Chain A
Amino acid sequence: MTPTRQASVATIVLADPAGGIEATLEALDVQVYEQVGVVAVGDIEVGDLTVAGRRVVTRATFAEVVSSLPSAVTHLWLVREGAVPRPDAVSSLIADMERTDAGIGGSKIVGDSDASLVSVGLVTDAFCVPYTGMDTSERDQGQYDVVRDVAAVTGVSMVIRRDLLVGLGGVDPAMTPTEAAIDVAQRARLKGARIIVSPASVVDYRALSTGDLRWKSEASRIRSILKVYGPLTLLWTIPVDFVIGFIEAFVSMFLGRWLFFDFIKSWIWNIAKLPSTISSRRTARSGRVAGDPDLFRFQRRGSVKITGLVQDVASALRRRLPGDDRLSIESIGNDVRQPAFVVGALAVIFVLLSSRNIWSDGLPAVGFTLPLPSNGWDALAGYGGGWNPAGLGSPDPLRPLVGIAGIAKILTLNSATLAGYLLTAGSMLGGIWGMTRLLRTWSVAAAPALIAGLVYVAGPTAQGIAGNTHIGTTIALGVLPWALRLCLAPLSDGAWSAAVRMAGVVLVFGVLGAFSPLMLLVAAPALGIYAVFQMNDAQAWRALILALLGTAGGTLLLSPWIWSANLLDIARDGYAFWEASPVLLVAGGVVAVAALAAGRRELGVVAGWGTLLAAAGFLGTRSGDFGYGVETESVSLAIAGLGIGVVIAVVSDSLLTTGIAVARRFSLAVGTVGVLLLIAASLTIVIGGRAGLPGDVYVEALGFTQANEGEASRSRVLVVGPAELLPGDSRTIQGGAYRVISASVPDLGEARLGAPLGLDDLLKANLESIIAGETRRAGGDLAPFGIHWIVVMGDSSGQAADTASGAWRNVFAGQLDLLPLTSSTGNATFVTDVTPVGRALTSGLNSWERSGWSYSGEAEESRTVFVAENADEGWGPAPRATVGEMNEVSASEGVVTYTADSVRRLQGWLVMLGVASLLGIVAVGRRLR
């Protein structure tokens, strides 16, 4: 042994739940550097073991060790239980520390089995998250063998000057080892100490799996931030760290990790520990000779967590994309040269370009596409038994799409445009992605599948749906292929696999139905046809059974709406007739013929199935004469688009086949021309940048209602004109369409009218009187309904005037208490010359504002407020009375609310519980599987 010349080192072995004390002590026993003694700290059984002839002492805490050490000890070597230092580990470390005058030195940590590098010192980000900077499979080839300053060293093997440690107040016992090591290093740096890593000092260690609770590590890290940084740095690091933690917890849900509880517990722990943290902070920062900039010098930019998260998401995505290779450094070069990668990248760019205006402006307000409710909680509450605000209101349940919109708004923190963008752009991406997954069922290559997906989400049929402004069906396009794929995909053995699949199917069908109820009925018949023509394929029949179960389960998830809905009425509302471009019709036919004639033999039935879907969908789009309506048209367009997508994939995939006959090659060439035409047609939606949806109409037409502050939230607008120009559903009177909406622009909750009730009938009677010319005071007749403005949509004057618009304009042109408003939109607009007008008007003639799904204003004792909503017992506060088909309630509380229907509210809660359970089954099942 080499006698100690300068430093007198005491070795402290820190307990690790993974164990391994024997190996560690054996390694310590053969160290070439003489140690004063070895002390084991924590829950370690050492028995009669000795090191260098001295018995190993045990102590309960680190503080006990420090206080009991002989005064001659100048350095402490902290070694994690299980670590195996090489014989010269401590001597090299002490030598490098003395040479560099470092206060703390750490060893190079190498994996004990494969010589992989575990750590050569640590860098952290500003949030004290450690970062090794190494690839997971990186081997130790001496590439980092240089003594250098680092932000911290791991606690596996580190030497610290005793006087420094005492001056720092010791190691924080409340923290986990790695975080405690980082904390000690940061505090030491504040005192001016150097922290180095010595590559000559090598320690074998199995891995840095601390076994600590994750939340405790997070909590320790946050405590470390709180202790070392100055106030200015804390001002931004703490909130940013909180947001990063939230994002990590949220995104991790999609990666199969549930971190929300860890996130919450770590912060709560720090709140509880705040007094001791403050005390430690005072100790850490008193007498400091360095500041935050000195800490930043050894930190990397950005967030380690976010970087890791992005990589995890990318990896997860890559696993979902077609192709068997996983994303890795080595494979990236190959991947980017693959057609699938190129087409996929183009598809993403295409989606981003096609939906760019929704990102900036939100969803356009046109037809049935209306802005999402401004407050997600209100929308969700409305869906769960609340008031239906469409028209003059009704207790009829809102469509599930409103509930989904509410959830989207909640998740995006009620962002004005983000929820709409995520739904539409996400639907497009989901549709493309889903098609690739669906077509993988039949081993269609990635590139053809992506092309099929592109035409499916943006082609003529998708544009037809968007043209109908059926936003729900447009979004549902992104879910339909997944519903089919989940039914068709092979099923692994085991109960958990079956449970996960079943739960997933029900969830996806539920989401599909929530976006578009009629879409719920598509998968089962489509798979039924497929099964019939794949008579001997058990997988096809199982898919049909899954689809039927999914339809049933998904239907239950549409509670409470489904119990009062009539799908047949929805299917028959309006008149289905899609005016298809003859050129694109021929192109679709040519592609189908080519797929049938020249497609790969094994794809023959698939091509036939796709052709039949396209044909059946096409017939559905023109089934008005059979009694079907516009929602049927939209859903049929989705079916036709799906069929066209399948045949496009077959044609494109067959192009890759070699050695085919000339006739088949010719057929494929002709089919390819058709495919190109359809692709060209699909690309046109980039121009509008609204995912194919028409341009905004109502924001422009109704924006004037916001001219006077507060007026819009107090009043309604009567919109008249051609039915296709009115927002959402409309009612008719003597052949003329009209619609009452909230100012300034109705939201999605107002798209679908409930059944007409008393106040609706009263409005109709008043309109009949106005139309008949029995009154010239239309403004006064409409004011009780809260109607302050009348907007005639469409061109109502001149040679090109629309008949309906002109007729309505003439009705209101001859009124005495209306004033014309100059409108830049070309719509004739009138404002009533009646005061006061309000949808909630007190007996003191003060109008209250609509705030979300209630009304509020200044409380008026012993007065009442007349709420121009259809009379319903749910309105309050009491006493409530029905006056003129509307509600009269007390004005004494300054607020009018609607008490939700208890049964529907319960059903809503049960659905949420069901969804949570299904998600839980999927999450747990996937892990167990």
Chain B
Amino acid sequence: MRKLLLVLIASVVGIIGVIQVEPPPAPGPEFGSLDLSEDDGAVASPSVWYCPWVEAGDVVDTNIVIGSDATVDVGMTLLDPISNTEPTEYLFNMVGPGGAGVDVGNVTRRGEAPATVEVSDGPAAIAALQRSNGFLSGDRCAVSVPTVWYLTGGSTKTGTFTEIRLFNPFADNAEVTITAYSEFNLDLVADLEGIDVAGRSWRTIDLEPFLNLRDELAFTVETSNGLVIPALIRSDERGQAMWPGTVPSQTWDFPIVTPGQLEPFIAVLSAGEDEVTVTVDVVTESGTVVAARQVVIDGSAPQLIPLFDIAAPPFGVTVRASSPIAASVIASVPTGDADSGGEGEGEELDVTRTTAADATTTSQPDEVEVFIRGLAGMVGASTPSANWMVPLDTLLDSETTVWIMNTGSEVAAVSLLLLLADKDLPPVTIFVEPGTTQPFLVDVGIGIYGVSVSADTPVSVAWTIVGDRGVALVAGTASL
């Protein structure tokens, strides 16, 4: 009887044990998305900016310019090309609102030296401008670090070279896959898959050996481990341009696409696989041409949309797409095959043209053959903003202009506070008519390193620098 009772109790207890089910696996951490993609904006908090294209050697110099509304501590770290060598650090304090420019050559001069710039407060923004006797190039630096980057506007047609610089300033090694798209649609290159970029290093990949003679090239740069900040560097005999990667958007504003003599194009790539309708509105100093150009692009084919035949420069554009796309501006010296969009090969036409530098020469314009320099590129702004932080640079032999594009329906009263290194100037207010883009010429030689832009209605801002060395288009940075 006792045994039976024990058996019964044991059976019941055992059965209860058997019917217990395994708990569901614990949910993983609520963090850890590698994709730190945010808007590339100046925020009122500490931020780190990544400038992959910084270089200071025997031919090239780079100015890193900082604009800030607040007094900030700035820490600049320049990597060394020799692995396991301590990076160069340059620290300084900047009184805000103000601006500062650092000639990298004065800090270190050892060629390529991708930089990170940390600022302790904000809103602040960073840009880097490269210069040599043969070119001017640069763009705003990147502050967000997505895992998938889009780069458009490349080409390896005859005489044109495209490189991608993969900058990994972080602790972890990065494993990067570059996917190329060309006029042949998806252009698979096995060697561009699984590229290792060690922590605190960079790699510059010349694409010509892998993708030779492609008129149009666009890329996605994806990291499976770690993070990188890519930049596209395009060069030809007339100059060099570079711009950072972006994330896709359905709208892009380019306040300026060409300041003058260069022929502009919009290079786009769909972020999806479906066809996308891309509409380009041209915004000139006097008004807007809505839907000046409309194209339908395939999901895996980049498209170069010529703009030089729509309006007389200078002008900006707004790009609208039916689904997210990546877009950038390329402005190059016109070549013979204008009908094909100017990027085709043909007889050079520069022998009878003049450049912006012509205005400063004392020689007879009709008699001097001028070799036109200029190749520029720029990323756009995905949305207009009422506040912009525009770090900029001036050179004695060049003209720096801030471009403000108002795509709204109201007149924009825009206040421009010039950011100087050592003094304050009263803000300048200009009015930008709706549907126009307006220039603001920056004085040279008084130490202006940026402009803090405030408007009563959202606008888009960029700046250009034009001179004997060439042309650079630089995007502004919205203050978030």
Tell me the nearest residue of chain B to A626, going by C-beta. Answer: B20
Q: Is A810 an interface residue (CB 8 A)?
A: yes
Q: Which of B33, B116, B172 has the most CB of A within 10 A?
A: B172
Q: Assess the B171–A807 pair: CB atoms within 8 A.
A: no
The majority secondary structure among interface residues of chain A is: helix
A736 to B31 alpha-carbon distance, docked (Å): 8
A604 to B7 alpha-carbon distance, docked (Å): 11
Known: A811-B31, A828-B172, A830-B172. A820 touches B16 (CB 8 A): no
- Name B32's contact: one of A776, A811, A820 (CB within 8 Å): A811
Q: Assess the B116–A816 pair: CB atoms within 8 A.
A: yes
Known: A734-B30, A830-B171. A616 touches B13 (CB 8 A): yes
A511 to B340 alpha-carbon distance, docked (Å): 91
A591 to B31 alpha-carbon distance, docked (Å): 49
CB contact list, A588-607 vs B, under 8 A: 589, 592, 596, 604-605, 607
A231 to B7 alpha-carbon distance, docked (Å): 75
Distance from B49 Cβ to chain A, minimum over Cβ atoms (Å): 11
Q: Assess the A622–B28 pair: CB atoms within 8 A.
A: no
Distance from A820 Cβ to chain B, minimum over Cβ atoms (Å): 5
Q: Is A359 an interface residue (CB 8 A)?
A: no
Known: A605-B3, A812-B172. A612 touches B13 (CB 8 A): yes
A514 to B54 alpha-carbon distance, docked (Å): 64
Q: Is A459 an interface residue (CB 8 A)?
A: no
Q: Assess the A734–B118 pair: CB atoms within 8 A.
A: no
Q: Is B200 an interface residue (CB 8 A)?
A: yes
Q: Is B322 an interface residue (CB 8 A)?
A: no
CB-CB < 8 A to A812: which residues of B?
171-172
Q: Is A773 an interface residue (CB 8 A)?
A: yes
Tell me the nearest residue of chain B to A601, going by C-beta. Answer: B3
Q: Is B316 an interface residue (CB 8 A)?
A: no
Known: A619-B16, A735-B30, A807-B31. A820 touches B2 (CB 8 A): no
Q: Which of B16, B31, B200 has the most CB of A within 10 A?
A: B31
Q: Assess the B31–A771 pair: CB atoms within 8 A.
A: yes
Q: Is B133 an interface residue (CB 8 A)?
A: no
Q: Which of A723, A773, A776, A809 has the most CB of B within 10 A?
A: A776
Interface size on B, residues (CB 8 A): 46
Q: Is B90 an interface residue (CB 8 A)?
A: no
Cβ contacts A602-639/B at 8 Å (1 or 0 each): 00110111011011101101111100000000000000
CB-CB < 8 A to B227: which residues of A?
813-814
Q: Is B426 an interface residue (CB 8 A)?
A: no
Q: Assess the A815–B13 pair: CB atoms within 8 A.
A: no
Q: Assess the B6–A533 pair: CB atoms within 8 A.
A: yes
- Name B225's contact: one of A611, A797, A816 (CB within 8 Å): A797
Q: Is B446 an interface residue (CB 8 A)?
A: no
Tell me the nearest residue of chain B to A797, going by C-beta. Answer: B225
Distance from A634 Cβ to chain B, minimum over Cβ atoms (Å): 16
Q: Is B447 an interface residue (CB 8 A)?
A: no
Q: Is A819 an interface residue (CB 8 A)?
A: yes
Q: Assess the B200–A622 pair: CB atoms within 8 A.
A: no
A397 to B3 alpha-carbon distance, docked (Å): 45
Distance from A807 Cβ to chain B, minimum over Cβ atoms (Å): 2
Cβ contacts A775-812/B at 8 Å (1 or 0 each): 11100000000000000000001000001101111111
Cβ contacts B19-36/A at 8 Å (1 or 0 each): 010110011111111101
Known: A807-B29, A810-B34. A816 touches B169 (CB 8 A): yes
Cβ contacts B190-229/A at 8 Å (1 or 0 each): 0000000011100000000000000000000000111100
Q: Is B17 an interface residue (CB 8 A)?
A: yes
Interface size on A, residues (CB 8 A): 56
- Name B17's contact: one of A612, A615, A772, A773 (CB within 8 Å): A615
Distance from A504 Cβ to chain B, minimum over Cβ atoms (Å): 29
Q: Is B260 an interface residue (CB 8 A)?
A: no
- Name B171's contact: one of A624, A803, A813 (CB within 8 Å): A813
Q: Assess the A776–B6 pair: CB atoms within 8 A.
A: no
CB-CB < 8 A to B280: which residues of A?
none
Q: Which of B14, B29, B32, B45 has the most CB of A within 10 A?
A: B29
CB-CB < 8 A to A809: which residues of B?
32, 172, 225
CB-CB < 8 A to B77: which residues of A?
816
Q: Is A433 an interface residue (CB 8 A)?
A: no
CB-CB < 8 A to B100: which residues of A?
none
Q: Is A577 an interface residue (CB 8 A)?
A: yes
Q: Assess the B20–A615 pair: CB atoms within 8 A.
A: no
Distance from B170 Cβ to chain A, minimum over Cβ atoms (Å): 5
A777 to B118 alpha-carbon distance, docked (Å): 10
CB contact list, A801-844 vs B, under 8 A: 803-804, 806-820, 828, 830
Distance from B38 Cβ to chain A, minimum over Cβ atoms (Å): 8
Q: Is A774 an interface residue (CB 8 A)?
A: yes
Distance from B150 Cβ to chain A, minimum over Cβ atoms (Å): 20
CB-CB < 8 A to A808: which residues of B?
29, 32
CB contact list, A752-781 vs B, under 8 A: 771-777
CB-CB < 8 A to A621: which residues of B?
17
CB-CB < 8 A to A622: which residues of B?
17, 20
Q: Is B145 an interface residue (CB 8 A)?
A: yes
Tell me the nearest residue of chain B to A737, going by C-beta. Answer: B29
Q: Is B395 an interface residue (CB 8 A)?
A: no
CB contact list, B30-75 vs A, under 8 A: 30-34, 36, 45-46, 48
Distance from A732 Cβ to chain B, minimum over Cβ atoms (Å): 9
CB-CB < 8 A to A776: which residues of B?
48, 118, 170
Tell me the nearest residue of chain B to A770, going by C-beta. Answer: B31
Distance from A646 Cβ to chain B, minimum over Cβ atoms (Å): 12
- Name A611's contact: one of B7, B30, B145, B175 (CB within 8 Å): B7
- Name B6's contact: one of A577, A611, A777, A828 (CB within 8 Å): A611
Q: Assess the A773–B7 pair: CB atoms within 8 A.
A: no
Distance from B316 Cβ to chain A, minimum over Cβ atoms (Å): 33
Distance from A914 Cβ to chain B, minimum over Cβ atoms (Å): 37
A607 to B116 alpha-carbon distance, docked (Å): 74
Tell me the nearest residue of chain A to B227, going by C-beta. Answer: A814
CB-CB < 8 A to A723: which residues of B?
26
Q: Is B11 an interface residue (CB 8 A)?
A: yes
A268 to B36 alpha-carbon distance, docked (Å): 75
- Name B173's contact: one of A771, A816, A820 (CB within 8 Å): A820
Q: Assess the A608–B6 pair: CB atoms within 8 A.
A: yes
A812 to B31 alpha-carbon distance, docked (Å): 12
- Name B34's contact: one of A605, A804, A813, A816 (CB within 8 Å): A813
Q: Assess the A804–B7 pair: CB atoms within 8 A.
A: no
Distance from A704 Cβ to chain B, minimum over Cβ atoms (Å): 16
Q: Assess the A533–B5 pair: CB atoms within 8 A.
A: yes
Tell me the nearest residue of chain A to B86, going by C-beta. Answer: A833
Known: A615-B14, A619-B13, A810-B34. A775 touches B171 (CB 8 A): no
Distance from A819 Cβ to chain B, minimum over Cβ atoms (Å): 6
Distance from B80 Cβ to chain A, minimum over Cβ atoms (Å): 14
Distance from A865 Cβ to chain B, minimum over Cβ atoms (Å): 28
CB-CB < 8 A to A806: which residues of B?
32
Q: Assess the A734–B36 pair: CB atoms within 8 A.
A: no
- Name A814's contact: one of B22, B36, B224 (CB within 8 Å): B36
Q: Is A579 an interface residue (CB 8 A)?
A: yes
Q: Is A482 an interface residue (CB 8 A)?
A: no
Q: Is B296 an interface residue (CB 8 A)?
A: no
CB-CB < 8 A to A585: which residues of B?
18
A611 to B10 alpha-carbon distance, docked (Å): 6
Q: Assess the B29–A803 pair: CB atoms within 8 A.
A: yes
Q: Is A575 an interface residue (CB 8 A)?
A: yes
Q: Assess the A773–B36 pair: CB atoms within 8 A.
A: yes
Q: Assess the B172–A813 pair: CB atoms within 8 A.
A: yes
Sample (12) of A-B pairs whose CB atoms are under 8 Å apart: A596-B3, A615-B13, A774-B45, A775-B46, A797-B175, A804-B29, A808-B32, A809-B172, A812-B172, A813-B170, A815-B171, A816-B171
Interface of A with B (CB < 8 Å)? 533, 575, 577, 579, 585, 589, 592, 596, 604-605, 607-609, 611-612, 614-616, 618-619, 621-625, 723, 734-736, 771-777, 797, 803-804, 806-820, 828, 830
Extra A-B contacts (9), CB below 8 Å, given A533-B5, A618-B14, A776-B118? A611-B7, A612-B13, A625-B23, A736-B31, A772-B31, A809-B32, A814-B145, A820-B171, A820-B199
